[in-house]
Amino acid sequence: MLRKTSIDPLLGRTNQSLYGSGSANLVDTFDDLPPGIGQYEDFHTIDWLRDIARDRYRHRQILKKRQDSWLESIKSAHDAWSGWVCVLLVGCAAGVFAAVIDIGASWMSDLKEGICSEAFWLNREQCCWVADVNSTFNEKGCTKWQTWPELFGSSGKGAGDYILKYIIYIFWAMLFSTLAVMLVRVFAPYACGSGIPEIKTILSGFIIRGYLGKWTLIIKSVGMMLAVSAGLSLGKEGPLVHVASCCGNIFSYLFPKYGRNEAKKREILSAASAAGVSVAFGAPIGGVLFSLEEVSYYFPLKTLWRSFFCALAAAFVLRSFNPFGNDHLVMFYIDYNNPWYLIELIPFIILGILGGLWGAFFNKLNIMWCRYRKQSTLGKYPISEVLLVTLLTAVLAFPNPYTRMNTSELIKELVRQCGPEDEDDLCNYDRNVTDMMAGISSAPLGSGVKRAMWQLALALIFKCAITIFTFGIKVPAGLFIPSMAIGAITGRMIGIGMEQLAFNYKEYSIFKEMCSAGHTCVTPGLYAMVGAAASLGGVTRMTVSLVVIMFELTGGLQYIVPLMAAAMASKWVGDAFGHEGIYEGHIRLNGYPFLDSKEEFTHTTLAADVMRPRRNDPPLATVTQDSMSVEELESLLRETDHNGFPVVVSQESQYLVGFVFRKDLTIAITNARNNQDGIVSQSIVYFTSHVPVTTVAGGPTPLKLNKILDMAPITIADQTPMEIVLEMFRKLGLRQTLVTHNGRLLGIITKKDVLRHIAQCHHQDPEDILFN
Amino acid sequence: MLRKTSIDPLLGRTNQSLYGSGSANLVDTFDDLPPGIGQYEDFHTIDWLRDIARDRYRHRQILKKRQDSWLESIKSAHDAWSGWVCVLLVGCAAGVFAAVIDIGASWMSDLKEGICSEAFWLNREQCCWVADVNSTFNEKGCTKWQTWPELFGSSGKGAGDYILKYIIYIFWAMLFSTLAVMLVRVFAPYACGSGIPEIKTILSGFIIRGYLGKWTLIIKSVGMMLAVSAGLSLGKEGPLVHVASCCGNIFSYLFPKYGRNEAKKREILSAASAAGVSVAFGAPIGGVLFSLEEVSYYFPLKTLWRSFFCALAAAFVLRSFNPFGNDHLVMFYIDYNNPWYLIELIPFIILGILGGLWGAFFNKLNIMWCRYRKQSTLGKYPISEVLLVTLLTAVLAFPNPYTRMNTSELIKELVRQCGPEDEDDLCNYDRNVTDMMAGISSAPLGSGVKRAMWQLALALIFKCAITIFTFGIKVPAGLFIPSMAIGAITGRMIGIGMEQLAFNYKEYSIFKEMCSAGHTCVTPGLYAMVGAAASLGGVTRMTVSLVVIMFELTGGLQYIVPLMAAAMASKWVGDAFGHEGIYEGHIRLNGYPFLDSKEEFTHTTLAADVMRPRRNDPPLATVTQDSMSVEELESLLRETDHNGFPVVVSQESQYLVGFVFRKDLTIAITNARNNQDGIVSQSIVYFTSHVPVTTVAGGPTPLKLNKILDMAPITIADQTPMEIVLEMFRKLGLRQTLVTHNGRLLGIITKKDVLRHIAQCHHQDPEDILFN
């Protein structure tokens, strides 16, 4: 049976059957359509199969027209290239936004402590660079940078000045966070939080209008700078994924192929989220794998290649801005190349276990706290909550240098190796200064390291506690950096412990090899790196992408085995306490209709147990193919709010013919009533291709609606196990499926029914699933 | 409806319904089954949905039993861990095999030229190391290594000796290739070729018994060493994927969870192929992406993580053996870090275009030649063909140093940067020896480089020509290394050209920046690397995995943009001449039933156009649910050879009830005839759960077969577009689907029908599809 093209009087446009000789198609003359057709309403689930079929049809039309004229062949080329152009634009935009946010956040963070006296728009590092271009950057000797007490004419030393600094620090922190929360409240409520749970939900085929809009983009970017500068225990890495996705959404509207097709748009959004991670960590491959593993749902191989291109473009643009002041893309680049020994796998795995425990603990408490916020009156005072958390953070963080500094600066410090010239506390070893090699070999702890250990322990407790209450407040807030910091502190402490153990017992056989060659016995910075990976893994339950991101940070195959060992231990220990990562937890908490493709469904229910109508429900609202009048259909549309209706041979037999969408039916009937002669309430509606002549002769003009009938709805037998139904929903991206028995229609299963059923199987409240 | 357990008298075993209350289930008491049940025949397609359902059922049984005793909980833990243990073993085995093959091939390659006089088991490099441990390795000064003329008492110089060397070289080459081809012919015919097309087919759900067996493993490993040592223009990288997959298959039999379930086994095989690439290039991440992008079909995220673990284990084991004599895993590690300039993107993209052209050209000619071999008498003399190719290769390769050396050695040479101490032809620049910096800065060409350029040009022509005839001969033969070599030669030549251009016109503004700082203007080795990537991309059409493998070889983000640019150009240019990579080409040539998940189906046919029976065919053989006798069923089984039969309500109505597999039906009837009283030829067979009492009273004992009925076969409407049918076949891994219209059975579509239809749409002979 071949396609046929005809003018459809009902929908007032050229219609060519998409699903065969008599079914709905809303593609070809898109511009002529009444507004809203082919689009989805807010908080609705998209139908992947339908959208992809629409795109294929559009593509075929373009191929067909290509021979017609050179204009058409340019259009065709434009269409073929538009995906690449779009991801290139998205990548560049993500890179620019990341650079602006990095520079802005760095300037505002430094503003809490002082200002560049000659050029206020420079941050401390740049200020000192400009002041003395020829010398290497030296913090101590920088004269142009003035702390606030110095600016007010004080010496910058003494107890009074300390209190002044303390107060000014708190003032700025409160100012920044007030601004951040007000901006979010007033302009873009969607800009709060990390955004990854929502992006996962959107990518799985759900519509949240405005979530990826331009206001969200702007407010999220500004709010992120403010929130990070306020010194809150949050990071800007997760939100960068949201920012990049906003870019993806906005640019996709330049290309109707993507902007007007929700399924295709998600290809761009997948690429955009890869670019987001790429700029956050300077890890393009890790970004692509993150997109593949963590956030994406529909990820054909073509998208993989484009995502990679997008991530690379973003990284390249960011590097051109050079916000970190070095040639490397990454915030905490590791430049050491020390070997590690098999025996060290024990502390690495211990770090993994600790990371897993921390992840499970954090996820449970954070979700509990967020649930409490939702259900109690606390949720009504988001601004007060943010201010309270900021005040608490600022008051507690200032006295400890490791919490006062930027969290990403802290991680940088922790993963670093002590060089011969380093003089800070963490590198204060009792070295034999006359020995040439002493600068890098292991040595007993100095008083500085001991002090640093105490301060790190306090910082660890503080960070652990405050992060639980911070993630979820109504400012843009990422979780990557705080959880990495917690892991890095633990790692560094264990690393220093191992170092001293190996140094003090270096004659023992197990440590002999490690300390023999006069170099550092143990690299505590590596432990910090592994700890950061373990902790991040415990919280998010990332696997491959985590290891690859860390691999790209360290830039060598050498440390991939320790990282893998820690990531595996962390994932397994975390999973023992519950399979959900923090993002899945928040998805469930918020009741987003997300069908997890990783979760295994182990129950033995059948489609018949899940479908509606249930046993005692009224029967399913169906339409017959050739016996219902216009009036009957109109009353059906009034009385029900289903998204569509199955069409059956007759009410008695219930043999399934097809499916008609509510929207199409409404438009078709309205159009026919207005434009077609002889259509009255008593007109019989025919969904068949042949209208019997006798009927035409007898009663009023019949209404032929076979064009809007989808004659190929996906159907399953009532005895199909739910695990197979689930597989079909996931892999084919269904919105609903019809259930039949021996060809007779029994019921319908929608994505919402599936989600409810899963919630029920997990002994959760199925009514938590908010939307469909 | 809940499961019920009962003793099934027909199949003589406990049976619990898997597909609901009355359908087939062959899982629970696997050991009691008649042999062959639940397994597939050779050259058959597997049913993914069914296999995965079987595995889930098995898993549920284990979970249920877990509480019973501590033995069961150990079993359950063993089951949970077995996947990880299995991939660990596979990874280690792949690493060991790769190491043995590397060492063996290196020893035998050197054997063509000489032997270590004191320890014949050492290759040249090791021989010289052992001889003079304290000095650094110096080829010239090595006394223990003796060329054959030297061993025969000659000086090793002069024309006579040259001819002697020539003859000995040809002798060894012929000997090795004779051995290789004889071994393959006699012991394991499946060991020839690259193996990747077949592994792709197997992973897509096809059974080729023995293709991944132990004999294939052994013969492929030995044959690969011999073929590489014979100096043929082939590599061992592709075949390493085959070797690793053999390990995967063999080890999976240690774990019944994988060994007895073809769908689950493919998870192990996916991981194994990742390990294969990982050891071939020392690129674990690239290996995983290769497996994901190129070979795998069913790749859940769990598999991604396991594949990564497997690839890493393999790389780690290989590194412990240290076959390349350095700390790096990779054959051609790049240790330079020179910057590249935006203007250089032009030659990089030109290299990409050349790579794409070469790929398209090679694929076309190689497929043509292989088709000629298949269809002509040439195919009957595989041994003579191998010997002829070897003779030709050896005779032509010996005079040119760049073709005489190992191909991977050649690539190593080409991607290298010239250091101040290098004295070989490629580094023979006219340098100002008094200048300290002269060793690394650019300089005019010396006579050595000019000679090298000529030799490289000849080598390029030779390699291009001979590779077309070599890939496809009946010895283990990979394509990665030869195609990379071709690209690397082109790249190095263009690189040297660019270098001279930039050096001679360094005052021009476009070159000014490049040559200003006194360092090398252009790094010709980088061009070789980019060229190698472009050429490999053109031949195989890999994308992300190619860039990632190259990225892991070079070990820095720095060169990822040039590599990406070349890979994209190469892929686009190649695709302009045909979308097929070489592996897809060979799959089609051999008629394997491979349903490509990358290829887009753009035709507008419907399920009704593809299903059987066709318009003038006899009707579909169906079984009725309650009116056929044992005799009728037996004659149906005799007269048809279908794999299964749809069950309908009655022959008149054709309303679909379910599907019954031929194998199950045969076994059930045979069993009933033998074991059940009162079953005679006239017994009516019931597929319903209720047998009407009247019938029982009247005639002979009825035979109840509702247990073997699959009541939930996948069905589609006849108006379903083929692109959606294809999507379902790909994503759900179907073996067949039933086609209905308004609930009535119309026909059936099998995977073979789909493949035939695709072939027809591409104007190919549909009868080329050999198997089903």
Chain segment B589-638, per-residue pLDDT in tens: 888 888 887 777 777 889 998 998 888 888 888 999 888 888 999 999 99
For tokens 């920046």, name the residue: B513
CA angle A739, B752, B707 (to 5 degrees): 45
* Per-residue model confidence as pLDDT tens digits over B523-542: 888 999 999 999 999 999 99
Contact B570, B355 (CB under 8 A): yes
Token pair, residue B730, equals: 């790909």
Return phi, psi of residue A147, to 5°. Answer: -75, 165
Q: Which of helix, strand or coil describes residue B406?
A: coil
Contact A82, A252 (CB under 8 A): no
Q: Give the CA count within 13 Å in the CB-facing half-sphere of A370.
A: 23
**Residue B486, pLDDT above cutoff 50:** yes
Q: Give the CA count within 13 Å in the CB-facing half-sphere of A287.
A: 35
CA distance A606 to A723: 8
**Residue A135, pLDDT above cutoff 50:** no
Residues 95 to 124 of B: which have CB under 8 A from any A CB?
Answer: none
Residue B316 forms contact with A (CB below 8 Å): yes
Return phi, psi of residue B676, to 5°. Answer: -105, 130
Return phi, psi of residue B299, to 5°. Answer: -135, 75
Mean pLDDT of all residues belonging to chain B: 83
- Measuring CA to CA, which residue among B407, B403, B402, B376 is closest to residue B392? B403
Categorize the per-residue pLDDT at A330 as very low, low, confident or very high, splitting at 50, 70 and 90: low
* Per-residue model confidence as pLDDT tens digits over A614-629: 888 888 889 998 888 8
Contacts of A606 in chain B (CB under 8 A): 1, 20
**Preceding omega of A613 cis (within 30 degrees of 0):** yes
Categorize the per-residue pLDDT at B22 as very low, low, confident or very high, splitting at 50, 70 and 90: very low
CA distance B460 to B456: 6
Question: Which of B309, B715, B743 has the CB atom closest to A564's CB atom?
Answer: B309
DSSP assignment of A144-174 equals: SEEEHHHHTT--S-SHHHHHHHHHHHHHHHH
**Residue B33, pLDDT above cutoff 50:** no
Whether B301 sits inside 8 A of A309 (CB atoms) is no
Q: Which of B305, B317, B334, B550 to mutate against chain A (most A CBs within 10 Å)?
A: B305
CA distance B194 to B224: 10
Rounded to the nearest angstrom, the minimum Cα separation between B657 and chain A is 5
Residue B518 confidence (pLDDT): 58
Helices (H), B137-195: 148-151, 159-187
Task: Give the per-residue SS3 of A572-588.
Answer: HHHHHCCCCCHHHHHHH
Strand partners, A661: A644
Categorize the per-residue pLDDT at B155 as very low, low, confident or very high, splitting at 50, 70 and 90: low
Categorize the per-residue pLDDT at A52 as very low, low, confident or very high, splitting at 50, 70 and 90: confident
Question: Which of A2, A315, A740 has the CB atom closest to B743's CB atom?
Answer: A740
Contacts of A274 in chain B (CB under 8 A): none
Contact B244, B90 (CB under 8 A): yes
Q: Which of B559, B707, B719, B737 to mutate against chain A (most A CBs within 10 Å)?
A: B719
Q: Considering only A28-42, B373-387, B388-402, B680-694, which range has the smallest mean pLDDT?
A: A28-42
- Mean pLDDT value of segment B564-588: 91
Categorize the per-residue pLDDT at B390 as very low, low, confident or very high, splitting at 50, 70 and 90: very high
* Per-residue model confidence as pLDDT tens digits over A254-276: 998 898 889 999 999 999 999 99
Cβ-proximal residues to B479 (8 Å cutoff; 6+ apart), any chain: B194, B234, B235, B238, B467, B471, B539, B540, B582
Residue B695 confidence (pLDDT): 55
Length of chain A: 772
Residue A434 confidence (pLDDT): 56
* Per-residue model confidence as pLDDT tens digits over B292-301: 888 888 787 7
Contacts of A316 in chain B (CB under 8 A): 561
Residue B1 forms contact with A (CB below 8 Å): yes
Return phi, psi of residue B437, to 5°. Answer: -80, -10
The chain B residue lying nearest A23, using CA atoms, is B719
Categorize the per-residue pLDDT at B5 as very low, low, confident or very high, splitting at 50, 70 and 90: very low
Residue A698 confidence (pLDDT): 63
Categorize the per-residue pLDDT at B325 as very low, low, confident or very high, splitting at 50, 70 and 90: low
Residue A21 confidence (pLDDT): 34
DSSP state at residue A21: T
B766 or A674: which leads in pLDDT: A674
The beta-carbon contacts of A5-11 under 8 Å, at least 24 apart in sequence, are A8/A707, A9/A671, A9/A672, A9/A675, A9/A676, A10/A667, A10/A668, A10/A671, A10/A672, A10/A675, A10/A676, A10/A703, A10/A705, A10/A707, A10/A708, A11/A667, A11/A668, A11/A671, A11/A707, A11/A708
- Mean pLDDT value of segment B188-199: 90
CA distance A16 to A6: 6
Question: Which of A20, A604, A727 has the CB atom closest to B606's CB atom?
Answer: A20
CA distance A407 to A471: 15
Residue A598 forms contact with B (CB below 8 Å): yes
Categorize the per-residue pLDDT at B12 as very low, low, confident or very high, splitting at 50, 70 and 90: very low
Residue B282 forms contact with A (CB below 8 Å): yes
Residue A22 confidence (pLDDT): 34
- Measuring CA to CA, which residue among B629, B771, B618 is closest to residue B700? B629
Categorize the per-residue pLDDT at A33 as very low, low, confident or very high, splitting at 50, 70 and 90: very low
- Classify the complex by whether its ipTM is higher than 0.90, answering yes or no: no
How many helices (H) and strands (E) would you count in chain A? 29, 13
Contacts of A304 in chain B (CB under 8 A): 292-293, 543-544
Q: Which of helix, strand or coil describes residue B360?
A: helix
- Mean pLDDT value of segment A663-688: 85
Q: Which of helix, strand or coil describes residue B740?
A: strand
- Measuring CA to CA, which residue among B668, B759, B753 is closest to residue B708? B668
C-alpha distances in angstroms, A138 versus A73, A134, A135, B372, B710? Answer: 60, 11, 8, 73, 76
Measured from the Cβ of residue B204, the count of other Cβ atoms closer than 10 Å reads 25
**Residue A326, pLDDT above cutoff 60:** no
Residue A352 confidence (pLDDT): 96
- Mean pLDDT value of segment A520-529: 86
- Measuring CA to CA, which residue among A311, A248, A310 is closest to residue A278? A311
B627-B633-B636-B640 Cα dihedral, nearest 10 degrees: 120
Residue A342 forms contact with B (CB below 8 Å): no
Whether B721 sits inside 8 A of A732 (CB atoms) is no
- Mean pLDDT value of segment A370-397: 92
Percent of chain B with pLDDT over 90: 37
For tokens 């590596």, name the residue: A526
Residue B8 one-letter amino acid: D
Categorize the per-residue pLDDT at A642 as very low, low, confident or very high, splitting at 50, 70 and 90: confident
Residue B229 confidence (pLDDT): 92
* Per-residue model confidence as pLDDT tens digits over B722-734: 888 988 898 888 8
DSSP assignment of B621-676 equals: --EESSSEEHHHHHHHHHH---SEEEEES-TTT-BEEEEEEHHHHHHHHHHHHHHS
**Residue A223, pLDDT above cutoff 90:** yes
DSSP assignment of A359-373 equals: HHHHHHHHHHHHHHH
Residue A723 forms contact with B (CB below 8 Å): yes
Q: Considering only B283-287, B380-384, B442-446, which range has the smallest mean pLDDT?
A: B442-446
Token pair, residue B39, equals: 């397994």
Question: Which of A304, A552, A713 has the CB atom closest to B293's CB atom?
Answer: A304
**Residue A425, pLDDT above cutoff 50:** yes
**Residue B13, pLDDT above cutoff 70:** no
CA distance A307 to A75: 24
Contacts of B301 in chain A (CB under 8 A): 293, 597-598
Strand partners, A646: A659
Residue A27 confidence (pLDDT): 35
How many helices (H) and strands (E) would you count in chain B? 29, 13
**Beta strands across the sheet bearing B628-629:** B628-629, B684-686, B703-704
Percent of chain A with pLDDT over 70: 86
B314 or A771: which leads in pLDDT: B314
A441 or A568: which leads in pLDDT: A568
User: How would you class B762 by CB atoms within 10 Å of its CB: exposed for 0-12, middle for 13-18, buried for 19 or more?
Assistant: exposed
CA distance B564 to B671: 62
Question: Which of B59, B604, B655 has the CB atom closest to A742's CB atom?
Answer: B655
Q: Considering only A424-428, A529-533, B691-695, which range has the smallest mean pLDDT?
A: B691-695
- Measuring CA to CA, which residue among A242, A206, A253 is closest to residue A97? A242
User: How would you class A387 by CB atoms within 10 Å of its CB: exposed for 0-12, middle for 13-18, buried for 19 or more?
Assistant: middle
Return phi, psi of residue B417, to 5°. Answer: -95, 145
Question: Which of B312, B724, B732 has the CB atom closest to A564's CB atom?
Answer: B312
* Per-residue model confidence as pLDDT tens digits over A499-510: 888 888 877 877
Contact A705, A10 (CB under 8 A): yes
Rounded to the nearest angstrom, the minimum Cα separation between A22 and chain B is 9
Categorize the per-residue pLDDT at B131 as very low, low, confident or very high, splitting at 50, 70 and 90: low
* Per-residue model confidence as pLDDT tens digits over A193-214: 889 999 999 998 888 888 999 9
* Per-residue model confidence as pLDDT tens digits over B537-560: 999 999 889 998 888 877 666 788
Q: Which of helix, strand or coil describes residue B48?
A: helix
* Per-residue model confidence as pLDDT tens digits over B209-243: 889 999 999 999 999 999 999 999 998 888 999 99
- Mean pLDDT value of segment B320-324: 69
Structural domains of chain A, ranges and CATH numbers in brackets: 5-40+57-76 (no CATH), 77-112+158-321 (1.10.3080.10), 342-590 (1.10.3080.10), 607-768 (3.10.580.20)
User: How would you class B205 by CB atoms within 10 Å of its CB: exposed for 0-12, middle for 13-18, buried for 19 or more?
Assistant: buried
Token pair, residue A481, equals: 């950096």
Residue B141 confidence (pLDDT): 56
Contact B252, B86 (CB under 8 A): yes
Contact B227, B62 (CB under 8 A): no
Whether B49 sits inside 8 A of A727 (CB atoms) is yes
Contact A503, A515 (CB under 8 A): yes
- Measuring CA to CA, which residue among A17, A19, A14, A20 is closest to residue A1? A20
Categorize the per-residue pLDDT at A442 as very low, low, confident or very high, splitting at 50, 70 and 90: low
Return phi, psi of residue A478, to 5°. Answer: -100, 160
CA distance A579 to A596: 12
